[in-house]
Structure 1
Amino acid sequence: MDFGTWPRLLVVDVEGNGQTPPDLVELAIIPVEHGRPVPEAGRATLIRPPHPITPFATRVHHITNQDVQQAPRWEQIAAAVQTDLTGCWIAAHNASVDYGVLKRHLPEWKPAGVLDTLRLARATYSDAPRHGLDALIEHTRLDLSTVQGRRHRAGYDAHATALLLLDLAAHYPTWDALTAGAVPAGMPGAPAPDHEDQTLW
């Protein structure tokens, strides 16, 4: 894989407050440049949601209402986040979730494309017993010793997902081959249907 052929790519992860639909309580954006994650060039921030964080959500990501009491509200950072994401590909594990939450918060934003490492891992490691992020970290024996934070926090999960993406990318010869397996149907970046192959009217 020639990483020099990759467009600008950002790995994203969001954490929510447990409400339906969820409000953001944490967001991480990590660029992948020249075949490596660059967390210091990204963004990781807590966000004060308009509705309280539920006890169930806190049990998952360990973010409490007190933790976000002094954090910026979404309206204060939305423009900057949209600037960060504009014109870029994004990647996430089970990307429809992260993309859906971001799209709801940034209705005017559309990424260049969306890579789903869950979809890609199912195609690449079909023999893996499970394809959740924890199971894939174990299956691929990813070295997370330099990753800051803890599991289920946005910065940690985005960094781990970036490393997983690079592990998966090693199985594909080109960017086009990678995206063919990684972009969910109907998502930005998916190939357009070949209408020439449609012979029924």
Structure 2
Amino acid sequence: MTDWTSLTYVVVDVEGNGQQPPDLVELAAVPIVGGVIGEPACWLVKPETPISPIARRIHGITNGAVATAPTFADIEAEVRETLSADAVVAHNAHVDLGVLRRKLCGWDCPEIFDTLQLARRLLSGADSYKLGALVDRLRLAEGLPDGLAPHRATYDALVTARLFVHLATPPDAWARSLDQLRDRSGRGGDGGTEALF
């Protein structure tokens, strides 16, 4: 059995402008190498259309905050380099990856691990599998740097990284093999709408 730490991972979270389809206003990426969570990279992005009021209420990013931010074209090369990994991890992955695929023309998305699907299969008895509920249940936000808040990309990417590591190495069992995670990851989401923009 192959150890899950044999792959390099990048955990991603996007915040959108609330339009359909959603456009990117914030992106965070957190590496996991050798099973160790690394430092996040984060970008504010000026979207092509304004941020809707409902999206502002969710993540708190205003149109003024992104007025002088770079466009995605300005940071695309850096984002592509940051996303170079064996696998991408996200919670309710189809939402984040849908945005990234629209922005990164021709991007060869690597293997996908969806922590929403993994949690549904590996954590029994949860009242909710939304990220916030799992963060509270597993205390995944403890010790995060000050100033980070839920529904912002860096916070969500870091707690998703912690969730993935927790699911891969449960405290009461042996670390899961790569094949076990693949079998339970759902291959990138189920088409649900748990992430709001």
* Range into which the TM-score falls when normalised by the shorter chain: 0.7 to 0.9
Q: CA deviation at 1:179?
A: 1.6
Where in structure 2 are there 5+ consecutive unaligned residues?
191-197
Q: CA deviation at 1:27?
A: 0.3
Higher RCO structure (Cα 8 Å, ≥6 apart) = 2
1:96 is matched with: 94
1:179 is matched with: 182
Deviations 1:14-56 (A, max 9, x none): 00001111110000000012323212xx420100011111111
Task: Say whether 1:67 aligns with 2:70.
Answer: no
Deviations 1:48-75 (A, max 9, x none): 0111111110000000011111110011
SS in 2 for 1:81: helix
2:106 is matched with: 108
1:54 is matched with: 52
Distance in 2 between residues matched to 1:52 and 1:185, nearest whole Å: 28
What are the residue-to-residue correspondences of 1:134-173 with 2, within 5 Å? 134-148=132-146, 149-171=148-170, 172-173=175-176
- The code of the aligned residue for 1:38 comes to G
- Note if contact 2:46-2:72 (Cα within 8 Å) is conserved in structure 1: yes
- Note if contact 1:87-1:111 (Cα within 8 Å) is conserved in structure 2: no
Q: Which has the larger radius of gyration?
A: 1
1:85 is matched with: 83
- Note if contact 2:114-2:188 (Cα within 8 Å) is conserved in structure 1: no
- Note if contact 2:93-2:189 (Cα within 8 Å) is conserved in structure 1: no
Deviations 1:72-121 (A, max 9, x none): 00111112212222353100000010111101111211222010000000
Aligned residues: 184
SS in 2 for 1:67: helix
Deviations 1:155-193 (A, max 9, x none): 000000000111111145311111211142799xxxxxx
Where in structure 1 are there 5+ consecutive unaligned residues?
188-201
- The code of the aligned residue for 2:108 comes to K
Question: How well do the aligned residues superpose, as a CA RMSD in angstroms?
Answer: 2.0
